[in-house]
Amino acid sequence: MPKIISIGNMKGGVGKTTTSIHLAQHLGRKGKTLLLDADEKLQSAVDWRSGEFDGWTFDALPFPEATPAVTAKYDYVIIDTKGNEQGDDLVALAQGSDLLIVPTKADGTSWRGLLRTLKPLIDGGVQNYRVLIVANVGGRGEELRHTLAEQDIPVLTSLVRSSTAVGDASEMQIPLEAHTTNRYAKLVSLEYSSVAREVLSHV
């Protein structure tokens, strides 16, 4: 049976697809990996992965194509959710996953959205989730990580910095590791590699 890792947040624009793509890219070096795109309208993850870059380490499919016979062939399955899930949806998602990653930015709007996202998980006694702080600027990520830890909210140690390289890589349909013209791209890729190592320690 594959290890299932879902990426979800009730708020949009918090780096779910970027996290899904790069977590899959790094896990693809550890075992056969499939990324499932559950956004039926945009299919952003499938589109990003569909570029001609030949160094992708994982496969990507729309979520409806993920039959048990298909997913059984993989060691890791990453689910990039559609966004704007309701609380019950996230609880069910966590219950059907080995780990739920909740990405968030370290700004006021995202913080308020994070609190709404976490409430049903906390109220439902869900424990197999971890918050991931992305698009970190300055010391805000460290402050948020400390605040979450103080409130006994499980948060990953790894932080992912903010960089225009993410948008560039998406537009070029390549992973950050292949983006050679932005000097921060490699650093962000390395930070996602650290995220992958932490994720593996929890599944």
The pLDDT tens digits of the residues spanning 35-86 come to: 999 987 778 999 999 988 999 999 999 998 989 999 999 999 999 997 766 6
Indicate whether 131 pLDDT > 90: yes
What are the tokens at 117?
Answer: 């996202």
DSSP state of 9: -
Total count of domains within the chain: 1
Amino acid at 38: A
Query: The CATH number of the domain where 52 resides is what?
Result: 3.40.50.300
**What tokens were used for 106?**
């370290």
93 or 138: whose pLDDT is higher? 93
For the stretch 97-126, pLDDT in tens is 999 999 998 887 777 778 888 999 999 999
- Residue 112 has which token pair? 């308020």
**pTM for the predicted model, two decimal places:** 0.93
Q: Which domain holds residue 71?
A: 3-202
Q: Is 87 exposed, middle or buried (0-12, 13-18, 19+ CB in 10 A)?
A: middle
